[in-house]
Amino acid sequence: MQKNILLTSFATWKPHHITNSSDDMLGYIINSYKKPLHYLRKVPVDHEQAPKKVLEKFNELRPDILVCCGMAEKRKKLNLESRARLGEKTIETGVDLKKLAKGLTMTRVSHDAGKFVCNTLYFKALIHMKKQSHGCVFVHVPVLTTDNVEPIKSDFISVLDRLAEIM
């Protein structure tokens, strides 16, 4: 059975950003992924608005899997985030990230979703998804260059395919 997947990306948030690599990745996927996906692109980089908009879209579409994407300027590979923290609370994804990343050269499992809007969105999305028994993953996308875009895009597509298989 085909799985419904909702992919989200962020808008830019710093003056020197021309684009956001998370949104760039979704742009590549729209043009190359053969299976149907749902998209919510350029979510505002705001601790209140980001979760609100993403969860509204989730509730509207009711997908099987939510994949939130954010930009990680200092990272070199796709990072599949295992957990999010808010204050003293930590919540982990129920998705087997090691299985998703196995054998992929440009993908790793991370245990640090950061301390910014990505982490806030992931925390609130994980709480919402756990109540509904849906899969939720956060993927940090490095800055994309002519040297890394193809292998990272290939890994991202593999992650999507594997998600659809295991969920």
Phi, psi at 76, each rounded to 5°? -105, -15
Q: What is the reported pLDDT for 52?
A: 98
Helices (H), the chain: 21-32, 49-61, 97-101, 117-132, 149-166
Question: Which of 14-23, 27-36, 132-141, 148-157 holds the top average pLDDT?
Answer: 148-157
DSSP 8-state class, residue 144:
P
Q: What is the pLDDT of residue 129?
A: 87
Q: Please report the pLDDT score of residue 49 as a whole number.
A: 98
Least confident of 13-22, 70-79, 81-90: 13-22
Measured CA angle at 126 (ends 112, 132), to 5 deg = 160
- Residue 36: per-residue pLDDT: 87
Look at residue 134 in the predicted model and tell me its pLDDT. Answer: 83
- CATH code of the region 5-166: 3.40.630.20
Structural domain boundaries of the chain? 5-166
pLDDT attached to residue 19: 87
